């Protein structure tokens, strides 16, 4: 792939081209700006450039307007103005190979993952659990691991929670305190999550990362779009949890890449402030680490947000490319944010950065990239290139065609419910019930036998008048049904997996 360009031209000021080195594209980036200033189109232009360079792209499509990347743009004088200003000579109107994804399975291939893969950390954050409740969630995961039981969907987790409550006393020593009240609180949150799309999201077939990392015949990187309109409206937390899961999964699954001339995948996370909103400190620390470490896996992350102040400083400090569209400065708070943003730019040419930031036109931005040494370049006020694909959404019929012709058609469409914790626990409960019935039947028989024996002895006494030897009443050492159930559960029955269940806990490699 050495014949491909290693710089992506995406903006310029009429004199200088603003380019991004593909080799620096794993150093992450930020696209920020007030509403309507051109963030989505900048994302689109960058995504196209990566795709042309053979880099697959994953992007959240928050308003549906990014789906136009799948369709060719139309000639327009604004396109001509921008291409001639930037000196772009090879602008071709065309659509890009696009895969549509949708957690609800309506506007794209369904995206699923399993409870195990999501892991207790992200799940606890998704459900807003306190420490005690998080501890119980950990106990469920640990017990499932010890038992070789799969936690795939929400009903697996629910039956596991019911099980640990029932056996709280026996499990306490190994797995800690499990209070019914805390479990009740978790169960209630799970119900809410279920209504918000969690029942569709958790299950199988789970998304395979390979499917996000495709190229077409010509070596053009596939653009995967997660339709996030409904998701953000109905469950912004699930949106954040999905993106975190994706990060942790990439982090755990991808090999170390060393120095690469381009990323293996770039991710664009729109409405990025939602990722960090209400995130517990511990998880945030780990997300920051993942941001840093995922660079060595050649994954670039680009955050899109209105206000950079919503991104935690430790993450903001890690972002190499900065594309800052116009900011408003109406209130003192706005002005403070503006000063903060201005200070974040290297400014060798004495630009009046604050003034520029408030007067930039639509599709213009103050931009700093990284040079070949990884140092930030001095800020340039630049015009962003026009996209080659359509600005605005794909039409429903076009989306339908995309889905029909997708190389993944059929792979994810139907949910599969294979045997997992729910079924296993149901089966064990049924077995325990059968055992209980057996125990009761045997107890009845024993009683009858003892009664008959007594009768016999009495009869013998009556005839011989001799004292018969005392019979010790045999204490039944049979287990109660509950004990038997628990023992069979604690015995490693289904340990066919051989190893602990793999799961995408952000922290599993970091702890």
We find the least distance from the C-beta atom of residue 98 to ligand ATP, in angstroms, to be 18
Which residue, 274 or 298, is less far from ligand ATP as judged by CB? 274
* Among 8, 18, 21, 41, interactor with ligand ATP by CB under 6 A: 41
Residue 198 contact, options Mg ion, ligand ATP, none, Cβ 5-8 Å cut-off depending on partner type: none
Q: Which residue is nearest to ligand ATP (CB)?
A: 363
- Detail the DSSP E strand segments found in 318-435: 321-324, 364-368, 380-384
DSSP strand pairing (265-269 vs 299-305): parallel
CA separation for the pair 193, 196 (Å, rounded): 5
Stretch that binds Mg ion, among 31-39, 130-138, 142-150, 389-397 (CB under 5 A): 31-39
Q: Closest Cα partner for 97 from 76, 72, 63?
A: 72
Q: Phi-psi region for residue 327, left (φ > 0), alpha (ψ -120 to 50) or beta?
A: beta
We find the least distance from the C-beta atom of residue 43 to ligand ATP, in angstroms, to be 8
We find the least distance from the C-beta atom of residue 39 to Mg ion, in angstroms, to be 5
We find the least distance from the C-beta atom of residue 331 to ligand ATP, in angstroms, to be 18
Stretch that binds Mg ion, among 8-16, 34-42, 188-196, 334-342 (CB under 5 A): 34-42
Task: Say how far residue 185 (Cα) sits from the centre of its chain.
Answer: 23
| CA distances, 452 to each of 185, 246, 287, 315, 447 (Å) | 53, 69, 72, 80, 9
CA separation for the pair 396, 491 (Å, rounded): 53
- Both tokens assigned to 219: 């070596």
| CA distances, 254 to each of 34, 77, 290, 334, 393 (Å) | 35, 43, 13, 40, 32
Residue 360 contact, options ligand ATP, Mg ion, none, Cβ 5-8 Å cut-off depending on partner type: none
Q: Closest Cα partner for 323 from 341, 296, 339, 338?
A: 341
73 near ligand ATP (CB under 6 A): no
- Both tokens assigned to 134: 């998080």
- Contact code string over 48-67 relative to ligand ATP, x by CB under 6 A: ---------------x----
Residue 363 contact, options ligand ATP, Mg ion, none, Cβ 5-8 Å cut-off depending on partner type: ligand ATP
40 near Mg ion (CB under 5 A): yes
| Phi and psi, residue 443, nearest 5° | -60, -40
* Among 5, 14, 36, 184, interactor with ligand ATP by CB under 6 A: 36
| CA distances, 217 to each of 75, 214, 334 (Å) | 26, 10, 48
Which residue, 347 or 358, is less far from ligand ATP as judged by CB? 358
We find the least distance from the C-beta atom of residue 229 to Mg ion, in angstroms, to be 12
In the three-class reduction of DSSP (H, G, I as helix; E, B as strand; rest coil), residue 30 is classed as strand
40 near ligand ATP (CB under 6 A): yes
37 near ligand ATP (CB under 6 A): yes
- Contact code string over 340-369 relative to ligand ATP, x by CB under 6 A: ----------------------xx------
120 near ligand ATP (CB under 6 A): no
Residue 394 contact, options Mg ion, ligand ATP, none, Cβ 5-8 Å cut-off depending on partner type: none
Question: Could you tell me if 244 and 204 are in contact, meaning their C-beta atoms sit under 8 angstroms apart?
Answer: no
CA separation for the pair 224, 269 (Å, rounded): 12
The answer to whether the peptide bond before residue 205 is cis (omega within 30 degrees of 0) is yes
Q: Closest Cα partner for 214 from 81, 56, 351?
A: 56
380 near ligand ATP (CB under 6 A): no
We find the least distance from the C-beta atom of residue 28 to ligand ATP, in angstroms, to be 19
Q: 């015995």: which residue's tokens?
A: 491
Q: 């450039």: which residue's tokens?
A: 49
Which residue, 70 or 424, is less far from Mg ion as judged by CB? 70
Question: Could you tell me if 260 and 298 are in contact, meaning their C-beta atoms sit under 8 angstroms apart?
Answer: yes
* Among 15, 35, 92, 331, interactor with ligand ATP by CB under 6 A: 35
Which residue, 127 or 226, is less far from Mg ion as judged by CB? 226
414 near ligand ATP (CB under 6 A): no
Chain residues binding Mg ion by CB under 5 A are: 39-40
Residues that bind ligand ATP (CB under 6 A): 33, 35-41, 45, 63, 78, 82, 362-363, 384, 386, 391
């Amino acid at each position: 792939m050495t014949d491909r360009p290693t710089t992506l031209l995406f903006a310029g000021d009429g004199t200088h081209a603003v380019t991004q080195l593909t080799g620096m594209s794993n150093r992450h980036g930020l696209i920020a700006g007030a509403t309507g200033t051109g963030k989505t189109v900048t994302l689109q232009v960058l995504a196209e450039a990566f795709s042309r360079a053979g880099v697959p792209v994953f992007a959240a499509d928050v308003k549906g307007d990014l789906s136009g990347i799948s369709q060719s743009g139309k000639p327009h004088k604004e396109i001509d103005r921008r291409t001639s200003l930037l000196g772009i000579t090879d602008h071709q109107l065309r659509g890009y190979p696009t895969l549509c994804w949708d957690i609800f399975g309506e506007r794209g291939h369904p995206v699923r993952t399993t409870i195990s893969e999501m892991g207790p950390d992200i799940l606890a954050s998704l459900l807003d659990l306190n420490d005690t409740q998080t501890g119980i969630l950990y106990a469920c995961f640990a017990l499932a691991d010890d038992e070789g039981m799969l936690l795939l969907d929400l009903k697996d987790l629910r039956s596991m929670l019911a099980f640990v409550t029932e056996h709280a006393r026996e499990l306490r020593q190994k797995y800690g305190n499990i209070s019914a009240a805390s479990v009740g609180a978790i169960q209630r949150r799970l119900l809410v999550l279920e209504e918000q799309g969690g029942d569709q999201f958790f299950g199988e077939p789970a998304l395979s990362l390979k499917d996000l990392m495709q190229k077409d015949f010509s070596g053009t990187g596939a653009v995967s779009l997660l339709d996030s309109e409904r998701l953000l409206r109905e469950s912004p937390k699930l949106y954040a949890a999905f993106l975190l899961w994706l990060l942790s999964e990439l982090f755990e699954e991808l090999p170390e890449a060393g120095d690469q001339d381009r990323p293996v995948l770039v991710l664009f996370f729109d409405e990025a402030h939602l990722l960090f909103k209400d995130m517990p400190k511990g998880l945030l620390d780990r997300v920051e680490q993942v941001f840093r470490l995922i660079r060595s896996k050649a994954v670039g992350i680009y955050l899109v947000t209105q206000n950079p102040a919503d991104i935690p400083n430790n993450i903001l400090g890690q972002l190499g490319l900065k594309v800052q569209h116009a900011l408003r400065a109406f209130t003192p708070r706005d002005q403070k944010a503006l000063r903060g943003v201005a200070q974040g730019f290297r400014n060798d040419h004495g630009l009046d950065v604050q003034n520029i930031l408030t007067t930039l036109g639509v599709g213009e931005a103050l931009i700093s990239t990284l040079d070949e040494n990884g140092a930030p370049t001095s800020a340039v006020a630049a015009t962003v290139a026009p996209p080659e694909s359509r600005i605005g959404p794909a039409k429903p019929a076009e989306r339908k065609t995309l889905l029909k012709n997708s190389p993944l058609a059929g792979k994810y469409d139907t949910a599969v419910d294979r045997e997992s914790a729910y079924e296993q626990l149901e089966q064990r409960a049924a077995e325990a019930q059968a055992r209980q019935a057996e125990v009761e039947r045997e107890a009845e028989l024993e009683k009858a036998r003892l009664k008959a024996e007594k009768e016999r002895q009495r009869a013998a006494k009556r005839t011989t008048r001799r004292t018969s030897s005392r019979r010790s009443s045999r204490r039944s050492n049979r287990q109660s049904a509950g004990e038997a159930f628990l023992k069979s559960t604690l015995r490693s029955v289904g340990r066919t997996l051989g190893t602990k269940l793999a799961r995408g806990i952000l922290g599993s490699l970091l702890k």
